[in-house]
Amino acid sequence: MLLSLHHDQPESESIFRRFREGSVLERLKALDSRARRKGLKGLDASRGALIPIGMEIEKRRVVKNGYGVFNLAWQAEHHPEWAETVAREIGEIRAQISRTHGVPLKFVIWAGMGGSAEDKSMYQAAGLLRRGPRLYVLDSTDPRKLDAIIEDIRRRSKVSAREAWKRTLVVAMAMGMTSYEPVLNLERIAGAYDAARVDSRPNIAYMTLTGSLLDRFASGRGYRRVALQLDDANSTAGRHSGPLTRGSLYPLALAGNDLAQWIRGAMLSAEEIETAWRLASFLEAQGAAGRDKVTLLLPREWGGAGVWTKQDFEESLGKSGKAAVKIVTGERVRMKNYHPPKDPRQDRVFLAVQFKGEPIEKTALIRRAGYPMATLTLQRETPLSSYMQLVHYCVFGLAWLRNLNFVTQPNVELYKSIASKLHGEAQRAGGIGRTKEWRRHQESPRAAAWRGRVTLRWPYVKCGDPQESAAPAIYAALLRQAVEDGGIGYGELTFFGDTRYSTSGRAVRTVLDRAAEQLFRAGLKIPVDVYEGPAMNHSYHEMIIGCGKCFSTIVFAPGEAADYHAAQFLATQMALAERGRAVVSMMLRDLESPTIAALDEFFRQAATHVRSRK
């Protein structure tokens, strides 16, 4: 790994020297070793700077060691059998399906949220799962997403639903005690197996904490429980489960990847760890100078790593209301969309990851223009696991420099608790539509319809009502005012529904991508995230709620949505509003072509209004 820094002003070398002078790596290994050998009771949370950075503390007691993200690689050096262990376990699952149903394994449904799912999506985008059974990521409680997955399986398998279920492995994964989404999806899937009169026990496995909601449901059905970590410990957060837990290794093993090589890739040398901390020092220096928007440029085949990288940084570091690191992904480099390097509004720093001899397009242009940039050059044969582990060390490095815990996620828990309360009220009231908060949201006078198909609502925005009357103009005014007031530095466009497997969902994603480019990047010169919810809540909202500075737009089509999915849509807005964050919603009448066209027109009109006021 070779790290090159360009326009490193203010200089970051003095920051990096703190890692060496503080013997951070040696102290990190010593603390983790003590925690694993002697347990947590002897650790004093008030002593030792590394304890509050990578461990969970309750009432001044250390309750969890969160440094498994590093110690699994350290342990792997002494456990060469781990790769064979995972391969053998996958073989047993395949064999049990074959013995029970007499068919081969052809499909995998991975049910999980946030960190339990993002690495799988990354592996799929990078082509690492191409040789295995087709994998579907079920990271939503929207019934339409599971319906779209089932329909695609039926279409590809060309067999009956009963025969298709026999050929499918379902893995549910949840790293929280109260994670409800995988339970809902597993209940529905188990019901489908029952309806098809197929024994689901060989086909369903789960990874979770003992006593969690998922554990209680799945164990009662007799499903296979799989320990997440190969050392049988519980020392990783969900986003840290890749690259070395079973949750990350199982999909790779199913696709026949070389696990031994993959695991070796995660064993970074001391020099490579220092490279990660040099990068952290550079980002720290740039952030202190107001350049906290890290525009990530990746090689084409690793493009899918952008969202995973974003989650690791933002969910780990975004909880601070003072400073954060915003990872900007999915952009094409367009110089006209950026403020000039000497403009006081210029808040970007660039990070290019490239293979030796294969420079990322336009990086030379960015450097010549005077933008700060870090370039990480890797050998072509470098496994993705090396990049993942380097990112983990970089995130830890920033957490250490900022004295910030990088394993907890308090703001994600806020949204989840609100969703749980709403869902409970919906069950008592006879549906989400009868709950007090839903009625208050729907009946708010701060609403405007567009073409009878899109309804904009802004009850949670703390500002006066715009003078405009048309919904797109109102939206543009709200957004423009938020940016001009100086409190907004980026945007979020999130569709609470499926954007991967259904035709209508992919069409909505196309509209949102176009709006992101025309309205936010070109119109306002600010970055924007485009994704789907509620998966995004786990990936992004730790930073959006914790640090703020985002204008959130939540798009939803109730239709056949389940009460819990609708509760998540509303809870997202309520959690943001509770912390004073700017959020509006757009309710779609349906997901038919005329409605999607109306949504596209809405954003086009809004972009026109934004440009007209420049």
- Judged by phi (left if over 0) then psi (alpha if -120 to 50, else beta), residue 15 lies in alpha
Whether omega for the bond prior to residue 534 falls within 30 degrees of 0, making it cis, is: yes
Reduce the secondary structure of 500-540 to three states and give it as a string: CCCHHHHHHHHHHHHHHHHHHHHHHCCCEEEEECCHHHHHH
pLDDT score recorded for residue 363: 94
Dump pLDDT digits (tens) for 67-112.
Answer: 999 999 999 999 999 999 999 999 999 999 999 999 999 999 999 9
**Distance from C-alpha of 357 to C-alpha of 342, rounded to nearest angstrom:** 31
pLDDT score recorded for residue 614: 58
**Distance from C-alpha of 113 to C-alpha of 313, rounded to nearest angstrom:** 17
**Coil, strand or helix at 135:** strand
Average model confidence (pLDDT) for the chain? 93
Buried b (16+ CB within 10 A) or exposed e, 428-463: eeeebeebebbeebeeeeebbebeebbbbbbbbbee
- Whether residue 578 contacts residue 414, with contact meaning beta carbons closer than 8 Å, is answered with yes
Confidence check: pLDDT of 592 > 90: yes
For residue 21, count CB atoms less than 10 angstroms from its CB and return exposed for 0-12, middle for 13-18, buried for 19 or more: exposed
Query: What contacts 484, CB < 8 A, 6 or more positions away?
Result: none
Tell which wins on pLDDT, 255 or 538.
255
DSSP E strands: which ranges in 324-433? 326-328, 348-355, 373-378
**Distance from C-alpha of 91 to C-alpha of 72, rounded to nearest angstrom:** 23
Dump pLDDT digits (tens) for 12-48.
Answer: 999 999 999 999 999 999 999 999 999 998 898 888 8
Confidence check: pLDDT of 222 > 70: yes
pLDDT score recorded for residue 225: 97
- Identity at 508, one-letter amino acid code: V
pLDDT score recorded for residue 96: 97
**Distance from C-alpha of 613 to C-alpha of 525, rounded to nearest angstrom:** 14
- Whether residue 378 contacts residue 354, with contact meaning beta carbons closer than 8 Å, is answered with yes
pLDDT score recorded for residue 324: 80
Which of 118-132, 431-445, 555-569, 582-596 is the least confident region? 555-569
Confidence check: pLDDT of 446 > 80: yes
pLDDT score recorded for residue 214: 94
pLDDT score recorded for residue 611: 86
Q: What percent of the chain has pLDDT over 70?
A: 99
**Distance from C-alpha of 466 to C-alpha of 482, rounded to nearest angstrom:** 12
pLDDT score recorded for residue 414: 84
Per the DSSP assignment, residues forming a β-bridge with 552 are 492, 583
Q: Which residue has the tokens 């703190």?
A: 18
Which of 182-186, 253-257, 391-395, 462-466 is the least confident region? 462-466
Confidence check: pLDDT of 281 > 90: yes
Dump pLDDT digits (tens) for 1-12.
Answer: 999 999 999 999
334 to 331, 339, 361: CA distances (angstroms): 8, 11, 11
Mean pLDDT within 103-130 = 95
Dump pLDDT digits (tens) for 348-404.
Answer: 999 999 999 999 989 999 999 999 999 999 999 999 999 999 999 999 999 999 999
pLDDT score recorded for residue 390: 98
CA 409 to chain centre: 12
Q: Which of 343, 300, 307, 335 is nearest to 127 (CA)?
A: 300
Half-sphere exposure of 602 (CA within 13 A, CB side): 28
**Distance from C-alpha of 209 to C-alpha of 32, rounded to nearest angstrom:** 21
CA 226 to chain centre: 23
Q: What percent of the chain has pLDDT over 90?
A: 83
Q: Please enumerate, as own/partner, the contacts of 451-455 that have beta carbons within 8 Å and a separation of 24 or more.
A: 451/598, 451/601, 451/602, 452/589, 453/588, 453/589, 453/590, 453/594, 453/595, 453/598, 453/599, 454/586, 454/587, 454/588, 454/589, 454/595, 454/598, 454/599, 454/602, 455/586, 455/587
Mean pLDDT within 545-551 = 88
Q: How do strand 168-173 and strand 107-111 relate by DSSP bridges? A: parallel
pTM for the model: 0.95
Dump pLDDT digits (tens) for 139-187.
Answer: 999 999 999 999 999 999 999 999 999 999 999 999 878 788 899 999 9
pLDDT score recorded for residue 584: 96
- Judged by phi (left if over 0) then psi (alpha if -120 to 50, else beta), residue 304 lies in alpha
Dump pLDDT digits (tens) for 299-341.
Answer: 999 999 999 999 999 999 988 766 788 999 989 999 999 999 9
Half-sphere exposure of 68 (CA within 13 A, CB side): 24
* DSSP string across 414-450: HHHHHHHHHHHHHHHHTSGGGSHHHHHHHT-SSEEEE
Q: Which of 512, 493, 497 is nearest to 560 (CA)?
A: 497
Dump pLDDT digits (tens) for 337-363.
Answer: 999 999 999 999 999 999 999 999 899
> Could you give the domains of the chain?
2-27+267-402 (3.40.50.10490), 78-265 (3.40.50.10490), 410-612 (3.40.50.10490)
Number of DSSP helices (H) and strands (E) in the chain, helices first: 24, 18
**Coil, strand or helix at 163:** helix
pLDDT score recorded for residue 208: 94
Whether omega for the bond prior to residue 243 falls within 30 degrees of 0, making it cis, is: yes
pLDDT score recorded for residue 230: 97
